Amino acid sequence: MYQIKSSQRIAPAVWEMDIMAPEVVERALPGQFIILRIDAKGERIPLTIHDTNNKEGTVRIIFQEVGKTTKRLANLHQGDFLKDFLGPLGQPSEIEKFGRVVCVGGGVGTAVIYPEAKALREAGNRVISVLGARSKEFLILEKKMQEVSDELYITTDDGSYGRRGLVTGVLKELLDKDKVDLVVAIGPVPMMKFVSQLTREYGVKTVVSLNPIMVDGTGMCGSCRVRIGEETKFVCVDGPEFDGHQVDFEELTVRNSRFREEEKVALEGHKCHQ
């Protein structure tokens, strides 16, 4: 059993939770994920590791309440236990000295890009971060991202904080201004698609995280199958990070919405039992 050491809401429907799991902390690398299960009957959900605390032996996850399990998770408190907390899983991010790197974090995707931005900076890169949120109240981790970035730009869709507009607007300006060696984009699928389309025009290598398509994260359900160039890959085993220019975003978008009806039914059932 894995104890919850702390749990707090950091934005509307977004939660930050520290879980006691020293064996995960010891081996975790940026880009990797865990699979948790609340109880013996619960579904398995994969979540990317946001941060670790070696001294405390805790793993920090940040998640959005979107379905039945994440809503149940949000209702747990400090001192409660999770049945399973398995990891680290997946391939770690490619961290080396690229030069000038732009890290684009969209909404909750910012939680995933943080460990990567931190590691890229420690590897000697100049890290320029662009964070996008629907409005000021949805912006997360501004201070932490500031600490690991040489430059930080913020956009909100409604203009309530930072620049008005989408992350792609600032990214285009950065690409026009100076040479960029790598773009890492993590956020909603449409954001990663449009970032990849843009950077392709500039010939800039782009990495995206296809975490949202994973279901059980075990390599067995086959749900996370994606076409990367000419090859078929499993996101939970071969990824979650891939070359954005090789991803078939049309197929990904269809696959990503496949279980929407089942998720809605599960959520309705959950509400009825509350």
Contacting positions for ligand FES (CB under 6 A) = 214-224, 234-236
Out of ligand FES, ligand NAD, none, which partner does residue 234 contact, by CB within 5 to 8 A per kind?
ligand FES
Q: Which residue, 203 or 222, has its beta carbon nearer to ligand FES?
A: 222
Q: Which residue, 89 or 133, has its beta carbon nearer to ligand FES?
A: 89
Which residue shows structure tokens 């894995």?
2
Nearest distance, CB of residue 5 and ligand FES, angstroms: 27
Q: Which stretch binds ligand NAD (CB under 6 A): 24-32, 50-58, 91-99, 164-172?
A: 164-172
Per DSSP, which regions of the chain are E strands? 2-11, 14-20, 33-37, 45-48, 51-53, 58-64, 81-82, 84-89, 100-106, 126-133, 151-156, 163-164, 182-186, 206-209, 225-228, 231-234, 241-243
- Output the six-digit token pair for 129: 């971060």
Q: Which residue, 20 or 252, has its beta carbon nearer to ligand NAD?
A: 252
Q: Which stretch binds ligand NAD (CB under 6 A): 35-43, 160-168, 175-183, 220-228?
A: 160-168
Q: Which residue, 35 or 183, has its beta carbon nearer to ligand FES?
A: 35
**Interaction of residue 186 with ligand NAD, rule CB under 6 A:** yes
Identified binder of ligand NAD from the candidate list 211, 226, 228, 233, rule CB under 6 A: 211
Nearest distance, CB of residue 272 and ligand NAD, angstroms: 25
Identified binder of ligand NAD from the candidate list 56, 142, 157, 181, rule CB under 6 A: 157
Which residue shows structure tokens 């460990």?
115
**Do 50 and 18 form a contact (C-beta atoms < 8 A)?**
no
**Interaction of residue 202 with ligand NAD, rule CB under 6 A:** no
> Which of 68, 66, 74, 123 is closest to 94 using CA atoms?
123
Cα–Cα dist 192/184, whole Å: 9
- Which residues contribute to the site for ligand NAD (CB under 6 A)? 48, 64, 106-109, 112, 132-134, 138, 155, 157, 166-168, 186-188, 190-191, 194, 209, 211-212
